[in-house]
Amino acid sequence: QQQVKQSPQSLIVQKGGIPIINCAYENTAFDYFPWYQQFPGKGPALLIAIRPDVSEKKEGRFTISFNKSAKQFSLHIMDSQPGDSATYFCAAIKAAGNKLTFGGGTRVLVKP
Amino acid sequence: EAQVTQNPRYLITVTGKKLTVTCSQNMNHEYMSWYRQDPGLGLRQIYYSMNVEVTDKGDVPEGYKVSRKEKRNFPLILESPSPNQTSLYFCASSFSGGRYEQYFGPGTRLTVT
């Protein structure tokens, strides 16, 4: 039973488009929601993170939107570039928790 | 350079032959963890360690062992590997107070035939 559900599994956009990745969680004890970016042959790396008391956070071209009542959050990649082609994972962790719970991942391909 | 290293990067072995995947970090992190990555399932935690000599099971610990005798090292041991342990394995580390931000190694692709 996946506690964090992520969709879609894959996404293809043209350069300049806005890929959107959605995640939903069940456990209201989750206190922090990071996104990780993984390039082929590499380990995941933290991209951006948000707490549930914030509805939106931007870092460069990456934006997280958070809907606490719906228990959903999403990642938008503004003005996407071919270099953004990677697998993206949403995750969740409880306050003082010992583990990250990951979504299933979304493979994003940005075509030139 | 701050990093998490894993060895080997690729390993093909046969059922039942004991193996160890090493993990080392140079960031003085207290927390270390092992994950396996399988298509569509994301990353699932195998074991974690809060500090030296303190380890605990994650979501999928069956068939794996770990030890934490030194702060920098956290090896993953498969005593009797089976084909269902064919996967991509990642070691990660973080400071205790920031476990949402984990630093991952480059991965070890294991194939058990």
Tokens at residue B21, please? 């995947």
- Alpha carbon distance B36, B89 (integer Å): 4
Q: Are A75 and A90 in contact (CB under 8 A)?
A: yes
Number of residues assigned to chain A: 112
Preceding peptide of A8 cis, ω within 30°: yes
pLDDT, tens only, A29-55: 898 999 999 999 999 999 999 988 999
pLDDT of A1 above 70: no
Q: What average pLDDT score do residues A98-109 get?
A: 92
Could you tell me the two tokens for B110? Answer: 């294991």
Tokens of B59: 């979501």
Q: How far is B73 from chain A (nearest CA, A)?
A: 18
Contact list, B102 vs chain A (CB under 8 Å): 46, 100
CA separation for the pair A23, A70 (Å, rounded):
11
Percent of chain A's residues with pLDDT above 70: 98
Q: What is the pLDDT of residues B57-112, one digit of tens each?
A: 999 999 999 999 999 999 999 999 999 999 999 999 998 777 788 999 999 999 99
Mean pLDDT of B3-10: 97
Examine the pLDDT at A79 and tell me if it is beyond 90. yes
Backbone angles phi, psi at A103, to 5 degrees: -75, 175
- Which residues in chain B touch residue A9, judged by CB atoms under 8 angstroms apart? 40
Q: Give the integer Cα–Cα distance in Å for A101 and B45.
A: 8
* Sign of the CA dihedral running B80, B81, B85, B89: positive
Question: Two tokens at B28?
Answer: 């003085």
Out of B42, B50, B92, closest to residue A104 by CB: B42
- Taking only the tens place, the pLDDT of each residue in B32-45 is 999 999 988 889 99
CA of A81 vs chain B CAs: smallest distance (Å): 24
For residue A35, give how far its alpha carbon lies from the nearest alpha carbon of chain B (Å): 10
Instruction: Tell me whether residue A82 is exposed, middle or buried, using C-beta atoms within 10 angstroms of its C-beta: 0 to 12, 13 to 18, 19 or more.
Output: exposed
**Mutation for testing the A interface, residue in B24, B41, B43 having most A CBs under 10 Å:** B43
Q: How far apart are CA A103 and CA A21, in angstroms?
A: 11
* Whether B100 and A49 lie within 8 Å, measured CB to CB: yes
Size of interface A-B (CB pairs under 8 A): 60
